[in-house]
Chain A
Amino acid sequence: MMKLEVKGIRKSFGDREVLHGIDFHVESGKALGLLGRNGAGKTTTIRILMDVFHANSGEILLDGKGFVPSKHRIGYLPEERGLYPKRTVIDQMIYLACLRGMNPREAKASAKKWLARLEVDEYETRKLETLSKGNQQKVQLAATLVSNPEIVILDEPFSGLDPVNSQILKDVVNELIKDDILVIFSSHQMSYVEEFCDDIAVINQGQVVLVGKLKEIKREYGRNRLMLSAENYALEELARKVEREWADLISVSDRKKEFLILELKEGADRRKVMAALARSDVDVERFGGYEPSLNDIFVEKVGEEE
């Protein structure tokens, strides 16, 4: 079991500080979703993790000791994708595996394994530039995993993949997590993060604004919130009725396409609301506790929806 901790990372470019103290941690066998809007500081954080940039202050620890990326097998898929377009797929896979510590025989076997796993083994002797964009992306992912890493860092891994290829990648990431690999990945696509990640860290303008276990965060954000819709009231009418008749119990905090999100007021509880609804003429279509999606939480935390 490995534990990677990022503590108080600060980074400036010139006079401008872009990271103002980033903190999070992740353990092996789990995936951390690094979320944030464009320019929030996700990629800079990842590049500091990978020692591409040096932090001005703060520390990165692996099992309590200073983390030196070159001493570990790390699979890193950078945001700026790129390999050698004029070299064959297998050649560059073996090259990267050897650079990361494998001997040529192991490297070749591993390269063939990952190319087959990502269903691009038929192109192994082709030059990279002759492949479609999606297949190049899969080769890039295979190159990331070719050294059988213990830590995998994926910066926007789903960008450029069609739904079929996305499913292959999802399966691979799930296998990595099952194999006790420590996975960090950044993405704008919240559905993927919800699917894989036990933990999230939301970065906004160079600061971590939300960090923790995804389930707990969702539970916390859903606490004192209810959802309600009616057969005989449109959502706008229902919202007005709630504000007019049950203002002491609940308030409308948001409107979704098919239901209202209500917030319990102090002293109120779900039973009192149910009783009030039962006494009214509202023909309840949907009523229950509300668990927000990661997208809702993200938008609430970092501003308007992207």
Chain B
Amino acid sequence: MRRFLIVLKYELKEYFTNKVFMGLTAVLVILGAAALFLPRFVDMSDFTGVQSAAGGEESGDEGAGGEKSLLLYVDQAGVVRAETLDGMFPGADWQEAADVDSLRAAVEAQEAEAGFVVTGAAEYEYYVYNKAMTDTNTAVFDQAMKLFYRMDYCRTHGLDLEEIASMYDVPVTVTEQILNKDSGSNYWYCYVLVIVVFMLIVYYGQMIAVSVTNEKSNRAIEVLVTSTSSNSLLFGKVIAGAIGGVFQMGLILGAILLSYQVNRQQWGGMLDMFLHIPGDVLLSFAFFGLGGYLFYAFLYGAMGALVSKTEDISKSVSGLMVVIMVVYFFSLMQLMNVDGPVIKVLSFLPISSYSTMFARVAMGSVEAWEIVVSFLILAVSIIGTGMLGAKLYRMGTLRYGNPIKIGTALKSLRGND
């Protein structure tokens, strides 16, 4: 244990005295926090729907300076009521064009944003220069046309439109009593956190593999394995890499989550689905996410020991990467069906429980014993991969040259070469 701690301390010093590592952490923390503080200093009401300086909340379509867009219409059917259009398009000024040609010319010259030629009681043509992905003008104008039709119908048949409307649009009050999980709101947290663990595993796993391989390539490994046990060396190295990764990712994620909490009102709660993560979800993420990260970190360490040049690491970890990618895609696909049989099986496998059990906890129905059993399997597997990794590390100590295939390495271990 003492020697493990010595290795851990030495390896941690490598991370915490590395100017690039610490600098990158600081930059990302500042950038993440600064981005979430932006609405306090910059008017982002267009995006957030919240006025920054004036305070009042309004879901405005108006531009930052209150400038309205110009919309034109030609009423060939005699059904349009301009005051109704003003109410339904609060961000626009409406003008009646002299004829279709002048309307078309104004739109082509981009003097008007768009134009409507009403050709019948339930027909119209829409003119627009470039139609944006988010263009909702026709959808709103459809509603306006229907309203014109109803108003006209009621007037000609002596009916009271308001009375009919109140009958159809009777307000219904619903109070949701969610007795277990709200998948709708938890889905995006899970999605984000699965991606975070995936990035943690792939990015920092690679760093751990490089760190192990470097000891072979600089020939320090023989001095090290004759100075202490390979268990102390590999566990110290991998746990240090894991702490380094969690430190960096934790600070960045922490800064983002905290900054969002502080500025949640300024954002109008629009990022709640990603960043307003409940404590119990974060807790299950901490256990299973970090467990899965450690499980793969040891495997990355072992893969690093099978090569003697850093440029060969990609060959060595390619099989591991396939497993990680398959688990990643399966996990994301199964988020829609967290109580299905596939995710239930995956949530007990150590290669996939880091994301699937965590998703079940966050979104599905899961018994306490299932969580405990899954975590025990993961914990035992972490120790198992650590011990196996240490043996592979020891076995690969003086094997320089071509990368050792994992099958050959395991045979060597069985043969106690």
Contact = CB atoms under 8 A, between A and B. Distances in A.
A78 B222 CA distance: 7
B255 to A, nearest CB: 29
B398 A52 contact: yes
B220 A84 contact: yes
Contacts of A220: none
Contacts of A13: 417
B229 interface: yes
Contact of A81 (B10, B219, B226): B219
A70 interface: yes
A49 to B, nearest CB: 10
A160 interface: no
Nearest to A85: B218
Given A51-B226, A76-B226, A96-B227, A83 B220 contact: yes
Nearest to B398: A52
B371 interface: no
A95 B9 CA distance: 9
A85 B14 CA distance: 12
A52 B395 CA distance: 9
A13 B14 CA distance: 36
A54 interface: yes
B397 interface: yes
A147 B76 CA distance: 100
A98 interface: yes
A84 B10 CA distance: 12
Interface string B1-21: 001001100100110000000
Interface string A50-77: 1111100000000000000110001010
B114 interface: no
B225 interface: yes
A80 interface: yes
Interface in B358-417: 397-398, 416-417
Nearest to A80: B219
A267 to B, nearest CB: 55
Contacts of B14: 87
A84 B218 CA distance: 7
Contacts of A84: 218, 220
A26 B119 CA distance: 111
Interface string B214-241: 0000111111111111000000000000
Given A50-B226, A69-B226, A95-B6, A82 B218 contact: yes
B contact residues, range: 20 to 34
B79 to A, nearest CB: 79
Contact of A47 (B3, B7, B398, B416): B398
A67 B159 CA distance: 107
A30 B318 CA distance: 52
Contacts of A51: 226
Nearest to B225: A52
Nearest to A77: B223
Interface string A75-104: 010101111110100010001101110000
B395 to A, nearest CB: 11
A54 B3 CA distance: 23
A69 B226 CA distance: 8
Nearest to A81: B219
Nearest to A129: B218
B227 A99 contact: yes
Among the interface residues B3, B10, B225, B229, which one has the most CB atoms of the partner chain A within 10 A?
B10
A178 to B, nearest CB: 25
A143 interface: yes
A83 B6 contact: no
A44 to B, nearest CB: 10
Contacts of B223: 76, 78, 82-83, 96, 143
B10 A95 contact: yes
Contacts of A53: 398
A50 B199 CA distance: 40
Contacts of B7: 99
A82 B222 contact: yes
B218 A52 contact: no
A75 to B, nearest CB: 10
A80 B225 CA distance: 13
Given A80-B398, A95-B6, A95-B10, A100 B222 contact: no
A77 B162 CA distance: 97
Contacts of B6: 95, 98-99
Nearest to A70: B229
Contacts of A47: 398
A13 B417 CA distance: 7
A80 B222 contact: yes
Among the interface residues A47, A76, A98, A100, which one has the most CB atoms of the partner chain B within 10 A?
A98
Contacts of A74: 226
Given A82-B221, A99-B6, A54 B226 contact: no
Given A52-B397, A83-B220, A78 B226 contact: yes
B366 to A, nearest CB: 44
Among the interface residues A54, A74, A80, A81, which one has the most CB atoms of the partner chain B within 10 A?
A80
A82 B220 contact: yes
Contacts of A99: 3, 6-7, 224, 227-228
A228 B7 CA distance: 63
A53 B397 CA distance: 10
A285 to B, nearest CB: 52
A50 B7 CA distance: 20
A96 B227 CA distance: 7
Interface string A124-146: 00000000000000000001000
Contacts of B13: 91
Contacts of B3: 99
Nearest to A78: B222
A22 to B, nearest CB: 18
B402 to A, nearest CB: 16
Nearest to A47: B398
A82 B397 CA distance: 13
A98 B224 CA distance: 12
Interface string A1-35: 00000000000010000000000000000000000
A13 to B, nearest CB: 7
Nearest to A50: B226
7 contacts: A78-B223, A80-B398, A82-B222, A84-B218, A91-B13, A95-B10, A99-B227
Given A52-B226, A82-B223, 17 more contacts: A54-B416, A70-B228, A74-B226, A78-B222, A80-B398, A82-B218, A82-B220, A82-B221, A82-B222, A83-B218, A83-B220, A84-B218, A91-B10, A95-B6, A99-B6, A99-B7, A100-B227
